[in-house]
Structure 1
Amino acid sequence: MRSLTKMDHVLLGVDKALRAMVPHSNPSTRPLPVSNDTIPKLNITEARHVAGLMRINHTGEVCAQGLYHGQAFSAKDNDVKQAMQQSAQEEVDHLVWCETRLSELGSHPSIFTPLWYGMSFGLGAIAGAISNEFSLGFVAETEAQVSEHLQDHIGLLPAQDIRSKEILAQMDIEELHHRELALENGGIALSAPVRHTMRWMANCMKATAYHL
């Protein structure tokens, strides 16, 4: 078996980016984490609200793909690079679950998906270039903030939409696991200005993705 060339790696990176940005281009390795296949009945207002929340979560998963791909691109340590690639692969299921629920609601992902992916890739590449510890700390903080908004969204969903609640609950469990792995592998606590900037950017994304 021949070794991959630099061009091979570039093409693989482009393929991963396109799969993150183009809806329904990723196969899921796991089924939806739901207790049954019943689609909850929602009125028009509820369905629109749930779609907005799921669009935010889908965009968050696109951002996670960009972040991990960017970090893997610039990471200095091969072990860290492989860890980033593995985490990105695990997040693919979350992406597919959100896409599936959006389709069930008759809705669609954010029209700004390419923008959010590109920004996240850039941030991930910068974090990976600074140091392994900072890069892993960035992952840990990102996952902590993602967990916060997942838990918020579970509380904001209509009571009868058990399907969406179960999807987000499973995602939350796995995001926290990724956070713990990043810390165990040497991730450092980020400074307050960095954390606040990350939160501000996340709030901008959420405000936009809910509607568009």
Structure 2
Amino acid sequence: MIGELGGDRTFLGSDDKGLGSEESCEASVEDKEKASVTVNNILSALIRYSELTGRRVSGKKCSDSVGIVPLGSSLTISLGRIKQSFVLTDPHLHDMPIVYVSEAFLSLTGYSRNEVLGRNCRFLSGPGTDVGTLCEIRENIRTEQASSVRILNYRKDGSSFWNLLHISPVRNARGKIAFYVGVQTDESAKTDAQGLSPEMRQLGTVGAVKVAVRSLSAGVGPSKSS
């Protein structure tokens, strides 16, 4: 999970979903978001296919309808080389949505990419998640500080795991915060095949993400100041 920057955003806590009392023939924001995520996933798959086959695939993602800024294909490819579990969120959009999710995150949590992109990271919270830890995350995000916490999260099947979570702001080439990265490590997996500790794996992942964003920030992600 990653915290929230403040304002009227509610990055942490339970999902606030409701149905309006008035009917409308116009698609809801939620429906548009789901459609956008589906189209983006298809286009991302096509881009990956084009990289393997050498055939060029072009298209316009419909993220603009819900305000999600699509990542450039070059950045997506660079991030796809990182094997650890992590997500990128956009602090400049309402509810700080997830704009990139790694394959390892999907394996760890049991969710599909379609179920993760565009959502707020609070969906990993559950009845046993400590409120004090959530407040600590929120404060660190507000002050633009990196932080490491141990937090109880929940997979799609309802099973819980202790997440050794590291969160860090990711700045673009101009020094402005473009994203926040959250790196997740199941506490039960203390070391990997190379004998690296969770802390070392997390720092390596954050470093790789920062290099990718700074190298390609001229054409991807937000460039606003926080």
In the superposition, the TM-score normalised over structure 1's length comes to: 0.29
In the superposition, the TM-score normalised over structure 2's length comes to: 0.28
Give the structure with the higher percent helix. 1
Give the structure with the higher percent strand. 2
